[in-house]
Amino acid sequence: SSKPAKAAKNAVKTASKKIAEALTPEVPGAPGGTPTVEEPTTPHDPLPPKEEQGAPQTRTPTGAETGAPTTANGQQGAHLTTAQGARLRDTDHSLKAGPRGPTLLQDHHLREKITHFDHERIPERVVHARGAGAHGVFTAYGTAEQVTRAGFLKEGRETDVFVRFSTVLGSRGSADTVRDARGFATKFYTDEGTFDLVGNNMPVFFIQDAIKFPDIIHAAKPHPDREIPQAQSAHDTFWDFVSLHTEAQHHTLWNMSDRGIPRSYRTMEGFGVHTFRLVNEAGATALAKFHWKPKLGVHSLTWEEAQMLSGMDPDFHRRDLYDAIEAGAFPEWELGIQVLPDTPEETFAGIDLLDPTKIVPEELAAVQLVGKLTLNRTPTNFFAETEQVAFHLGHLPPGIDVTNDPLLQGRLFSYVDTQLTRLGGPNFSQIPINRPHAPVNDMLRDGFHQQAVHAGVAPYRPNSLDGGNPFPAGDDEHAFLDVPVTVTEAPKVRANPASFDDHYSQARLFWLSMSPVEKEHIIRAYTFELGKCYHQAIKERQLQSLANIDPELCAQVATGLGLPTPEPTVPLADVTPSPALSQVGGEWPADGRTVGVVVDPDGDLDDVAPVRAAVFAAGMVPLLIAPHGGVVGDLPVQRTFATGRSVEFDALLLAGAPAPAPDAVPAPDAGTTTVDPRVLLLVEECWRHAKAIGAWGAGTTVLEQVGVTDSPGVVTAGSGAQALASVQELMAAHRVWERFPASVA
Ligand code: HDD
């Protein structure tokens, strides 16, 4: 090569060397320019594994432990390793050809790390994607022993459970408090095989035949063109579907009622929906419907609270559940069954028990309590447990069998099928959360993600090689019994029984069972939802269904929409209301409720500490609200005027009247009030949402400035203790119901 070319090459070499030197950071102890990271802690001995992180069992064909190496658990040793166990020097820098050079393909650690990350997400559930799960225990009372041979229902039996609550429509990241049905799925790890009770917080369903499930879900999910609205039923395709499928009217009415916006998972009922068939030791059968009765009663949010929470705290229900469990306020439900005679007609009091759009009113068949569920442990890892848990209606123990409800029959196919895509193969029952606690001895082999190291050579039967194992179990050996129900001879058809055509009588029953305030909420919900629809024909068609349920309901919604009220096209059903369906009128424990306490750091704080202690003592959670964070006196502040909002609290106590802070949003009436406008807003909202409010001392000024001093459920007391006592009494009824206007009787 020529002289000038050589000189140019050298110049480039020198220049790049200089640049490299200039760019090499001078870090002591880091030859080669790799900065050392200052660790906030020093390596220590591995933590003992948490109990629930214990190595999952590996299964042999006989259900015995193989003793084979078990799966690894996260963060239990001091040193970072690759997935293969090689210790790593650095996980913060890719391997490069020089500090400014390209990344090398040979960086196996980089590729392993990124590849694994790229595949961290699995498909969300096609419905019920948003949910929260918890572990617990079920204790049987023994009261079901006469009707079912199920071992876990025998007196005193304790069974581990995992429960997952969910909304139906929203994506995994959607808000908890949207108007929707809630899933209530319980996995009982019984010693006779896992039992999954996959129910909802509403006892009826939209459709009568599983073949229509894709249709209703397509209609209810966001519109396919713009993918909006998220987690809402207030849109045209939903109301198009339900107004065209009048069998959906009963469930829709439940959705429009306060049941569609629960206060907490802890204050929801649960229902198995379908009728199941129980079989006892003697082989006698009964039909049954499952109910979960919450210890805290059934309570809901108001629609405005639900909407505000969607923005203020989209995780409201999840947080509430986990906070309660971590605080030791373990949520409890009693399991109940309605036992109904197993007659050839499969009806009770004229109600078709195979129709999942129908209930059996509790007044006609009492709910007999058979055991208690206590949720006492939050998941250790949300993905591993709550995301990967897989429920299936075909997970049945001996003593509980299915019926011919056509919705149930289709579900028996869907739940296993969906896991193949969602969990990536047929071995999902080997994922730790899905592992039965009963010994497993199946002849299922191989497949994606096989975790078991099956011994033996003869996974077939009969065989003469593995000692003949496994053998079928007899009736006296806890075998599952398919109840030999007679199948009547009938033509093969795609058709429903005639009784399935009654779409309005039970919707009317539900409506007539509501208190005036609950009716008012239902009217407003329909008016909101239909008001969000664009197509006039859809609103008119839905009004027609409402006319067939109840003329007054229809008239009020029609007025709200500015549309004429149609005449009923069917005779109004003559039904007897079921008082058990109303949420109003009782008194319940207030365990785990939140009480906001507004304090003025410059005011009289004498009563604050004792009131706070008394709220704790009552099993509730006091949250101090102050102009600034940190402490007031020596009490910790949980919410400031900037971070707190009324919707977080079940009741409000005013211990002071804080003056407007410099960062307060200016209020239009700033000249006439002496209190921070955010406190006035807090009180206004609590008042509007019918919450109990108590004040003493300077706190009473706030009530005066909002103008609610003499209102029902607003207490002015001489001391903090008195204010709390009165507020606590009011909270037993959940809300100050008389504060809501009611336009219907
Ligand atoms: Fe379903 C999930 C409840 C009808 C198909 N369903 C799912 C979950 C609950 C319910 C609580 C969430 C389970 C979890 O937390 O993992 N589903 C119901 C109730 C129904 C009902 C109470 C009527 C009485 N479902 C129903 C029908 C079909 C499905 C008719 C299909 C024909 N459901 C599914 C599914 C899901 C599911 C696609 C989604 C994720 C999953 O199963 O594991 O298979």
Classify residue 465: in a domain, yes or no: no
Please check whether residues 257 and 317 belong to one and the same domain: yes
* Catalytically annotated residues: 128, 200
State the average pLDDT for the chain: 91
Please say which residue of 551, 581, 611 terminates a domain. Answer: 581
Please check whether residues 635 and 656 belong to one and the same domain: yes
185 Cβ inside 6 Å of ligand 1: yes
Distances (CA, A) of 155 to 185, 334, 373: 23, 14, 14
Evaluate if residue 27 carries a pLDDT over 50: no
Ligand 1, closest atom to CA 356?
Answer: 24
d(CA 327, CA 621): 9
Give the DSSP letter string of 132-179. Answer: EEEEEEEEE-STTTTT---GGGSTT-EEEEEEEEEESSS-TTS-TTSS
Evaluate if residue 180 carries a pLDDT over 70: yes
Cβ 691 vs Cβ 652: under 8 Å: yes
206 Cβ inside 6 Å of ligand 1: no
Handedness of CA 360, 361, 367, 373 (dihedral sign): positive
For ligand 1, atom 30: residue with the closest CA: 210
Give pairs for 517-520: CB < 8 Å, separation 24+: 517/584, 517/737, 517/740, 517/742, 518/257, 518/258, 518/582, 518/583, 518/584, 519/553, 519/742, 519/744, 520/740, 520/741, 520/742, 520/743, 520/744
Cβ 330 vs Cβ 375: under 8 Å: yes
Classify residue 586: in a domain, yes or no: no
Classify residue 305: in a domain, yes or no: yes
- In this prediction, residue 15 carries a pLDDT of 63
- ipTM surpasses cut 0.95: yes
Please check whether residues 387 and 253 belong to one and the same domain: yes
pLDDT band with cut points at 50, 70 and 90 for residue 36: low
Please check whether residues 520 and 616 belong to one and the same domain: no
Of 174, 632, 216, nearest in space to 407 by CA: 216
Please check whether residues 610 and 515 belong to one and the same domain: no
Structure confidence by residue, pLDDT tens digits, 305-330? 999 999 999 999 999 999 999 989 99
660 Cβ inside 6 Å of ligand 1: no
Q: The CATH number of the domain where 660 resides is what? A: 3.40.50.880
Cβ 514 vs Cβ 581: under 8 Å: yes
Residue 627: give the domain boundaries.
Answer: 594-739
> Ligand 1 center to residue 63 CA distance, Å?
30
Please check whether residues 657 and 559 belong to one and the same domain: no
Classify residue 423: in a domain, yes or no: yes
199 Cβ inside 6 Å of ligand 1: yes
- In this prediction, residue 239 carries a pLDDT of 98
d(CA 648, CA 644): 7
For ligand 1, atom 32: residue with the closest CA: 210
Q: Chain centroid to CA 358: how far?
A: 24
Specify the range with the lowest mean pLDDT, choosing from 66-70, 113-117, 180-184.
66-70
Please check whether residues 572 and 691 belong to one and the same domain: no
Please check whether residues 566 and 605 belong to one and the same domain: no
Please check whether residues 274 and 421 belong to one and the same domain: yes
Pocket test for ligand 1, best of 171, 202, 391 (most atoms within 8 A of CB): 391
- In this prediction, residue 679 carries a pLDDT of 95
Evaluate if residue 2 carries a pLDDT over 90: no
Please check whether residues 613 and 708 belong to one and the same domain: yes
Q: The CATH number of the domain where 560 resides is what? A: 1.20.1370.20
For ligand 1, atom 7: residue with the closest CA: 128
Q: The CATH number of the domain where 338 resides is what? A: 2.40.180.10
41: helix, strand or coil: coil
Count Cβ atoms below 10 Å from residue 401 Cβ, excluding itself: 18
pLDDT average, residue stretch 462-483: 91
Structure confidence by residue, pLDDT tens digits, 248-278? 999 999 999 999 999 999 999 999 999 999 9
Q: Global pTM? A: 0.91
Classify residue 67: in a domain, yes or no: no
* Residue linked to tokens 């008082």: 579
Specify the range with the lowest mean pLDDT, choosing from 66-75, 87-96, 594-603, 646-655.
66-75
Evaluate if residue 357 carries a pLDDT over 60: yes
Please say which residue of 434, 469, 486 terminates a domain. Answer: 434
434 Cβ inside 6 Å of ligand 1: no
Cβ 438 vs Cβ 445: under 8 Å: no
Classify residue 706: in a domain, yes or no: yes
Of 506, 157, 526, 464, nearest in space to 356 by CA: 506
Please check whether residues 157 and 305 belong to one and the same domain: yes
* Residue linked to tokens 């079901």: 144
d(CA 568, CA 4): 100
Evaluate if residue 31 carries a pLDDT over 60: no
Please say which residue of 410, 434, 458 terminates a domain. Answer: 434
Please check whether residues 279 and 143 belong to one and the same domain: yes
> Ligand 1 center to residue 317 CA distance, Å?
20
Please tell me the total count of domains within the chain: 3
d(CA 59, CA 454): 7
Classify residue 546: in a domain, yes or no: yes
Query: Of residues 77 and 353, which shows the higher confidence score?
Result: 353
Classify residue 100: in a domain, yes or no: no
pLDDT band with cut points at 50, 70 and 90 for residue 476: confident
